[in-house]
Structure 1
Amino acid sequence: MGIQQGTREFKHSSLALFAGGFSTFALLYCLQPIIPELTLDFNITPTLASLAMSVTTIAMALTMLFVGALSDAWGRKTIMTASLAAASVITVAFSFSTSFNMLLLLRIVQGIVLAGLPAIAMTYLSEEMDKNSLGYAMGLYISGNAIGGMAGRIISGLLTDWFNWRVATTVLGSLSILASIVFWLTIPASRNFVKRKLELSKLVPLLWTQLVNVRLLCLYGLGFLFMGGFVTLFNYIGFELLGAPYNLSQSLVGSIFVVYIMGSISSTWMGRMADRYGRIPIMLAALGIFLSGALLTGCGSLVFKILGITLFVFGFFGGHSIASSWVGLVSKEHKSQANSLYLFFYYVGSSLSGTGGGLLYHEFGWSGIIGLIAVYVVIGVLLCGVLKRLGAGDNSISTLSG
């Protein structure tokens, strides 16, 4: 019997994973709104500065392929807590970077240690939650991701404007150390975890079994597309808003990320709608909202740009919430490896598209970014069509686990 909504354990696990998701994404994205500042401080191009995001996400993606196997042998709670604490300390160390290469090295190491929470958190939820509460629980966890991403961007933007980006990363790292303590004190011990012997030689065959599942491949593709489009837009929107005709300050650009609160709403709400009405129709709705938001950012009016960003965030977090919880239902066994692969594709999308989008932005301006996202949405709709033909739209475990 899994943990059910409304119980004490559900509240504790939700609080812990909310805090963990908050910390992880605050640290992961704290440099995104200040990429323009990095170009000035280190005298580099925007595309090169975007590597401060891309190297972290690619390091995280690669590490996620292995950290699931480690958690199978060592347990979920220990690795997740160590991941949060180490990443927090590394963020404080950013302030001592004397060169962009040093900052990149620290970001690579941070990506490696950050992998410990998101890959395992999804597995923890799929193991411990009652199937009828999984969508809501995953939505709450992802809402922590959304608020953490929002807070990290807003705090770093404000503190960079008031002081400098080094002060901003020191403050965020310190706050995340506190979040690590909250996580350790509140996360319930695993009840359905079965310890397995660590056998890395068997990891590749286990991963391969997940890669030959067409349903899972479709979900991995959706993760790639959502995250690729999402990070690409937010990596370069700051250049648009800081420049003419808007000429916003770094504080105002950072404050626009308050729209992330919509992500915390959509991840929970759309997760519940998917549990009730089916995943495919709600996923298609998320893709539609995602594209509509991107198109609105092409308007000249600042009001419409902000409205577009809001819709874009709403669609992204809703779609990610559905896809990530869906993986745990489709995979028959070795859920940690299935979830690790989902996040691998998710963050590879972030890395490749986040930096590659800079080339499109350089050549075609903002229309190049919108065009890339539109292509991603079309591919996403096609993947949903494949899932429907495979009979993967039903909410029942018996249908989805085949």
Structure 2
Amino acid sequence: MTTTAPAPATEAAPTRRVTLAVAAAGISSFALLYAPQPVLPQLAERFHLDPGGASLAVSVATGSLAISVLPIATLSEVIGRRRVILASVLSSVLLGLALPFAPDFTTLLVLRALQGIAIAGFAGVAAAYLAERLGKAGVAAAVGAMIAGNTVGGMLGRLSSGFAADWLGWPGALGLTAGLALVCALLTVFSLPKSEAPPAGRRAKVLSGFRAALSSRVLLAQYAVALLAMGSFVALYNAAGFRLTGEPLDLSPAIASLVFLAYAMGTFTSGYAGRLVARFGRLRTQAGALVLTVLGASLTIVDSLICVAAGFVVLTGGFFAAHAVANGWAAAEAPPGARGQAGGLYTLAYYLGSSVGGTVGATVYGHAGWAWLIALAAAWLLLALLVSVLAAKASRH
């Protein structure tokens, strides 16, 4: 049975329409994924939890996303990318609308776990969908727009729930974010063009692609960077609300949520990292970004609002630059038949780091304080740097 070649983007799927649809899906998905982060102190108070327990509202979702992303990406090879993306955005919004009505923390965690599984459909499939629809000529700009949408979504979800928490409480804050996500999800539903049926031969190559994606030291090192750097990053942001609303800074939740504006720096540095790679190489750029993240995190130890704010801007810029380099390095290093699998494994490591690192970091903060959390995050970041350096050197011999 022969398959029909994808229609040119100018005929069946104009680049602008595809880009808009996927960017809207990214905003919806990542606004929902991280919306509970600014209201963790309110969840802790409502359900009588310590910071580590409250952080499960974030970690359960990112953990279920990490576990689900590879099976769902494989499923998309059989039933098609578009179906998976549409099911992802709609189901994640419906679950988001149900969150404010959770009668207890256990129910909230179950809903968040299901929401993470739903969001995995977009996170694990969107890049492959873009490659199939647009080809090499249009995919680079579209992927850039998708990443920007993801970043904007993460920032929008945090800011909307953080600002609304003072007036609406945590249920109203999460409901407001879900409403905003619904608008973006509907935009995706009505504008996302159909994708072609996957070639029959591709399904048989899935397992061989996984073997290839696990055979390179450089690839394994980039998965480790994703795991450790994301774990550090989410650990710091999970505890940020407690740090900013507690003594001695004592900010309101709405003002404390402004810390998430630091994500704007991440949007800039993730794009600029490509220029630095062209000039200095991947390893030097990644090393500089990881060290910058450590320096920014260290600056937040000072009990000064200016230092804490500046520290979050610096560490956010450093993290997103390191993530951009690692993600691009993994894509470039992956064999042609294993790029999808390498991307899936990188995504798995990234969100597994978010889940485990976020909970461990919040627990350390709750029991030992901010300085010990910074020490833990710095150790993870420096370990990521060491692993990447060793793998890069080994690959040259």
Alpha-carbon distance in 2 for matches of 1:387, 1:2: 41
| Cα pair 1:52 1:104 within 8 Å, conserved | yes
In the other structure, the counterpart of 1:35 is 40
Give the paired residue count: 387
Q: Cα offset for 1:113?
A: 0.9
* Worse-superposed segment, 372-381 or 129-138: 129-138
Asked if 1:59 corresponds to 2:64, the answer is yes
Q: Does 1:252 align with 2:221?
A: no
Structure 1 residue 197: Cα displacement = 7.3
Is the CA contact (8 Å cut-off) linking 2:249 and 2:303 kept in structure 1? no
- Separation in 2 of the partners of 1:314 and 1:186? 32
Task: Name 2:121's counterpart in structure 1.
Answer: 116
Q: CA deviation at 1:351?
A: 1.2
For residues 347-393 of structure 1, the C-alpha deviation after alignment (integer angstroms, 9 at most, x for no partner) is 1111111111133223431111111221122122223323432558x
Alpha-carbon distance in structure 2 between the residues aligned to 1:353 and 1:390: 28
Name the residue aligned to 1:397.
none
Q: 1:58 to 1:334 in 2, by over 3 A?
A: same
- For residue 400 of structure 1, what is the aligned residue in structure 2? none
Q: Does 1:176 align with 2:185?
A: no
CA distance in 1, matches of 2:68, 2:332: 23
Counterpart Cα distance in 1 of 2:82 and 2:248: 49
Pairing 1:240–2:246 present: no
Alpha-carbon contact 1:21-1:145 (below 8 Å) kept: yes
Alpha carbons 1:30, 1:169 under 8 Å: kept: yes
Within 5 A, what are the aligned runs for 1:242-321?
242-274=245-277, 278-321=281-324
- Out of 131, 141, 145, the position equivalent to 2:146 is 141
User: What secondary structure is seen at the aligned counterpart in 1 of 2:108?
Assistant: helix
| 373, 376, 401: which one aligns with 2:377 | 373
Which residue is equivalent to 1:217?
Answer: 220
Please give the alpha-carbon distance, in whole angstroms, between the structure 1 residues aligned to 2:17 and 2:387.
36
* Residue identity opposite 2:29 in structure 1: T
Structure 1 319/184 Cα, relative in aligned 2: closer, same or farther at 3 Å?
Answer: farther
Deviation at 1:181, TM superposition (A): 2.3
Matches within 5 A, 1:56-95: 56-95=61-100
Q: Distance in 1 between matches of 2:198 and 2:75?
A: 13
The answer to whether the aligner puts 1:327 opposite 2:312 as a matched pair is: no
- What secondary structure, in the 3-state scheme, does the structure 1 residue paired with 2:44 have? helix
Q: Distance in 2 between matches of 1:13 and 1:275?
A: 29
Inter-CA distance 160–16: structure 2 relative to 1 (3 Å threshold): same
For the 8 Å contact 2:218–2:395, the answer to whether it is kept is no
* 1:380 partner amino acid: A
Is this contact kept in 1: 2:50–2:366, CA < 8 A? no
Query: Hey, what's the Cα distance between the residues in 2 that align with 1:338 and 1:285?
Result: 24
Task: Supply the distance in 2 between the matched residues of 1:386 and 1:130 (Cα, whole angstroms).
Answer: 35
Alpha-carbon distance in structure 2 between the residues aligned to 1:311 and 1:156? 23
> What is the rounded CA distance, in whole Å, between the counterparts of 2:277 and 2:188 in structure 1?
28
CA distance in 1, matches of 2:99, 2:251: 26
Contact 2:225-2:385 within 8 A present in 1 as well:
no
Offset at residue 11 of structure 1 (A):
3.6
CA contact (8 A) 2:62 2:116 kept: yes
Matched, 1:354 2:368: no
Q: What is the identity percentage for the equivalent residue pairs of Structure 1 and Structure 2?
A: 34
Match of 1:338 in 2: 342
Q: CA 1:199 to 1:3, structure 2 compared with 1: closer, same or farther past 3 Å? A: closer
User: What is the TM-score with the length of structure 2 in the denominator?
Assistant: 0.89
The answer on whether the counterparts of 1:73 and 1:195 sit within 8 Å (CA) in structure 2 is no
- The structure-2 alpha-carbon separation of the partners of 1:180 and 1:73, relative to structure 1 and needing over 3 Å to count, comes to same
Structure 1 pair 134–238 and aligned structure 2 pair: CA distance change class (3 A): same
CA distance in 1, matches of 2:276, 2:353: 26
Matched AA of 2:353: G
Which region of structure 1 is more displaced relative to structure 2, 272-281 or 374-383? 272-281
> How far is the alpha carbon of 1:312 from its aligned partner?
1.2
Quick one: distance in 1 between partners of 2:360 and 2:167?
Answer: 31
Q: Partner residue of 2:3?
A: none
Supply the distance in 2 between the matched residues of 1:99 and 1:78 (Cα, whole angstroms): 33
Once the two structures are TM-superposed, the CA of residue 80 in structure 1 deviates from its matched residue by: 1.1
Distance 1:21 1:165, change over 3 A: same
Distance 2:214 2:167 in 1: 48
Q: Is the 8 A contact 1:222 1:380 kept in 2?
A: yes
In 1, Cα distance between equivalents of 2:362 and 2:180: 31
Provide the aligned C-alpha RMSD in A: 2.8
Q: Are the aligned partners of 2:77 and 2:203 in contact in 1 as well (CA < 8 Å)?
A: no
**AA at the equivalent of 1:67:** I
Where 2:125 maps in the other structure, the secondary structure is: helix
Quick one: distance in 2 between partners of 1:315 and 1:300? 22
CA distance, structure 2, for counterparts of residue 234 and residue 100 of structure 1: 21
Gaps of 5+ in 2: 1-5
Contact map agreement 2:292 2:318 (CA 8 A) in 1: yes
Unmatched 5+ stretches in structure 1: 393-402
